[in-house]
Structure formats: structure tokens, C-alpha cells
Structure 1
Amino acid sequence: MNTRPTVLITGASTGIGATYAERFAQRGHDLILVARDQARLEALAARLRDAHKVAIEVLQADLTRIDDLAAVEARLRDDARIGILVNNAGTAQAGSFIEQTPDSAAHLVSLNTTALVRLASAIAPRLAQAGDGAIINIGSVVGLAPEFGMSIYGATKAFVLFLSQGMSLELAPRGVYVQAVLPAATRTEIWERAGIDINTLTDIMEVGDLVDAALAGFDRREPVTIPPLHDGARWDALQAARQGLLGEIRQSEVAARYLADA
């Protein structure tokens, strides 16, 4: 019997999710792989079973469909073997805010935020009760930079970062580790699916490098891991500045600069 926790990974058929699957299998974890593409999941599972002798289950699901999402939620709630959730499933889309349709925006928000929240909410109470476990939420540095021009995508990733930090504050004292991983441009199929030509981008990180760095942060129990950030003190300074700003907010008093001149 495998004493290591089983890892459930969403968006596991390719890219970052598939690489997480390979790395956790190398570490000896059993896996539950979730994605829409059953054939790709089965092929990946067969390869990893043969290479690493771990148990791997495939769970085909479209996380924008409520019935499929509910089935994965139930598994996270009820299967005590699952001790790590990798909330990786996500999508992007090309075009400016005014070029994107309400339906395409709603689909992006549904997958990038709603599904992520529901899955985290499904597993978190059980992990907190056990006093152990981990939730990895895949965000993006785009969530720090409205200047990049990906307004809806970036907003969903800012949500992921905020949620992860809030969850960490709540769950870390109860023994549950929450990690937000913020990649920059990484060589995955998300670009093609979004209608973006990856060849127009520069300085692309290879997906294996991204996941290896993220797992280094995981092993160190970093609340936020930003693999392409070379000077970690920059993140610390940003957090310190944010805390300083909060310290200047006087909830019951309007700031003097907004008062009419006497």
C-alpha cells in the first residue's frame, strides 16, 4: 500500500498538468488525472504506470459542466487517500476586452475561478480536519500586471493569487499547505487554444523547468512561488509595501485630500 498521499491533478492531459503528473509519479505518488481528453489521459497514465509503478486513475471531466465538476468535487470530499490537489485547469483567450464576447468571458471565468474555488472548497475541510495535505493553485504573473493587456485572464489569475493567500492564512495553522504558483509565458498548448501564436512571444520558459521550480517552492513550503522572478526580495518588498499601505488606511475617516477646501 502506498503511504504517500494520492495527488489529484486537473488539466492533466498536457502541458503543466501532465508534467506535474510525471514529477509526482517519479516521487512515488498515486495519481488521479482529470481533463476532458480521455485518450490523452489514458496514454499518459499508461506511460507513467509503466515507468514508475504507481497507481493512476483517469477521470474524464469538463470542469465547466456542473455535473462533471460535481463528480470531481465528490471525489475530493470523500476519498481520504487524496492529500494533494493541483488546481491547474485553466484557459486563456486572445483579443482585447471589447473584442471578447460575454459568453467567452464567462467560460474563461468559469474554468479559471469557479471550478478552482469549488474544488478547493471540496477538499479543504477534510484536509483541515486531518491536519495535513496541500493545495497547489496555478496562477500567473499576468495577475500582477494589467499592463499586459489580458484583462479578463489577468483578473482571474489575480483572483487565484488572492484566494491562495487568504486560504494559506486560514489553513496553514491547521496543517494544510497552500501554494500559489505564478508562471510567466510557458511553452504549453494554452496559447494555441487561445488563438495566440507562441512564435510571436519571446523568452518562453520550458514547461519542465517551470514545474521543477514550482516543486522546489513546494518542498520549501513557499506560499507564493514565482519561477521566473530572479530577485525574490522584489516580492518581499511588494508584500511589505502592501502591508504598509494597509497600515495607512483609516476606516472611519475620509482622507484629507478628498475633503473640500476650507
Structure 2
Amino acid sequence: MTAIPSVLITGASSGIGATYAERFARRGHDLVLVARDRARMEASAARLRRETGVAIDIIQADLTQVGELAAVEARLRDDMRIGILVNNAGASVGGSFLEQATDDVARIVALNTTALLRLASAIAPRLAQAGDGAIINIGSVVGLAPEFGMTVYGATKAFVLFLSQGLSLELAPTGVYVQAVLPAATRTEIWERAGTDINTLSGVMEVGELVDAALVGFDRREPVTIPPLPDVGQWDALQAVRQAMLPNFRQEHAAERYRTAA
């Protein structure tokens, strides 16, 4: 792997992905940008090449399409220069679960979970063999909070968090770093695409602040980075309670409370 690895970023035409591209380019990393909107990526790439001198390749791809996803997987498997994957591409859909069309939510699941999983699976063996590299998976605090009412989107982001934590446990001994980033409401186009006017929401973080905070967590090698969370002790306490339950899951018999009639 090169001293300064290339970074492949999905969902790179706008929002969080485009901002990651900006930040990594200014750190001296060559880029591979992946998204559906080639024109926007070309414009961003031209500016970043001019301003930073890094090399930038573009892959136009809809990651819900098997063939186009496979092309990105192949690039991750075969390009030894790529040492960092930013799994950012994602989408949501408006309305409640009862209002959402099955095909619409199935596409959300395909993009937010299946594509992310396949891309991580494509690069992880190569990084593990090299003993270096990183996978950044963009999740959401919604994955921790069914109370927010975004049932399918939240479920996909819960998957991203669990996958990231599991991969971190598996890959850390090989030298590969896995980070889950959990934004809250961030000013990106995902809201408009889901039919929500972001200007009606409060507590919305600007995308630059979000990515800068995520990169602080990246540099610190945090397994989970939650940029809007003021007190990291709350996350630590949640983890401690969860881990305290683990020994109780290995029981031959049901707990006493389930062996007594109500």
C-alpha cells in the first residue's frame, strides 16, 4: 500500500461524500469518487485537482444496480492504491411505514445495507492481508432511536452500526481500522429527496462541521464517532450496560421471570 493511500468515496457528488472528498484531497490523498451524478463529480474533481494537485478518478454508478455495484467492488478488490473506503452512499424515503411503498423501502435497504456490505467485503480481505487501511461507514443516530419514527431508515442504520462494530472486532487485530460515524440531522440533500423541507427542522448541523468532527474521530481511531453527542460518557455507559448483559445470554434455562405464571 502506498504511503498516502487513495480513498474511494461513495455518494461523492454532494453532501457528506463531497465534503469527505474535499477534506481528504486537502490531506493529499488521491480519490476515487462514486455516485450517479457524473457532472457534479466532474466539476468537483476539476476544482480539487486544480487546488490540491491530487489525482481523481470518477466512477458513475447506481449502487442499487447489480452490475454497476460489481464494477465498484472490482475496483476495491484490484486497486492496491486504495487504502480507505468511505461507505457514505445512502437514502431515505418520506412517510410512515404504512405509507411507504414496498419497492421504495426495498431500494433503501439495498443501498443503505447491501451495497455498503458488499463494498466492505470487497476491500476488507486485501486490507487485512496488507495489515493496514480503514473503512468508514456512515450510519446515523436514528439507528439508535426507533422513537424518531424513521423505521426502515433507522433499521438500515442500526445494521451499519452493528456491522461496523463487528468488523472492528474482527479486523482490528489485522491492523485495519473500522469507524462508524453517526450523524444526527445534517444539512444535505437527503432531506429534500425524502420530501422534507430541512428549513422546518431545528438542530441541523452543517455538513462541513459534521465531516470535520468525524475526521477528528478518525484521527483518534474511535470505533464509533457521534459528532452531536456532548457527553461521550453516555455512549460509554450504554456500551458498559450492554456488555454487562452478555454473560446472562448464555443460559441453559429461561430466566426465572419467564418460569412463573403472570
Same fold per superposition (TM over 0.5): yes
TM-score by length of 2: 0.98
Q: Alpha carbons of 1:255 and 1:77: their partners in 2 closer, same or farther (altered >3 Å)?
A: same
The alpha carbon displacement at 1:147 in A equals 0.1
- 2:130 counterpart residue number: 130
- 1:174 counterpart residue number: 174
Q: Alpha carbons of 1:59 and 1:149: their partners in 2 closer, same or farther (altered >3 Å)?
A: same
**C-alpha separation in 2, matches of 1:11 and 1:261:** 53
- 1:62 counterpart residue number: 62
**C-alpha separation in 1, matches of 2:8 and 2:249:** 41
Q: Alpha carbons of 1:261 and 1:155: their partners in 2 closer, same or farther (altered >3 Å)?
A: closer
- 2:85 counterpart residue number: 85
Where in structure 2 are there 5+ consecutive unaligned residues?
none
**C-alpha separation in 2, matches of 1:148 and 1:25:** 35
The alpha carbon displacement at 1:3 in A equals 3.4
Q: How much is the aligned-residue C-alpha RMSD, in angstroms?
A: 1.1
Supply the AA of the counterpart residue of 2:253. Answer: E
Aligned length: 261
The alignment partner of 2:241 has SS state of helix
The alignment partner of 1:184 has SS state of coil
Supply the AA of the counterpart residue of 1:194. Answer: A
- 2:243 counterpart residue number: 243
The alignment partner of 1:29 has SS state of coil
The alpha carbon displacement at 1:101 in A equals 1.0
1:28 aligns with 2:54: no
**C-alpha separation in 1, matches of 2:258 and 2:226:** 37
Extract structure 1 runs of 4+ deviating beyond 3 A: none
Where in structure 1 are there 5+ consecutive unaligned residues?
none
TM-score by length of 1: 0.98
**C-alpha separation in 1, matches of 2:100 and 2:246:** 34
The alpha carbon displacement at 1:199 in A equals 1.4
The alpha carbon displacement at 1:261 in A equals 4.4
- 2:99 counterpart residue number: 99
Identity of aligned residues (%): 76
- 1:211 counterpart residue number: 211
Q: Cα deviation per residue 1:192-242 (whole Å; 9 max; x = unaligned)?
A: 011111112101000000000000000000000000001001000000000
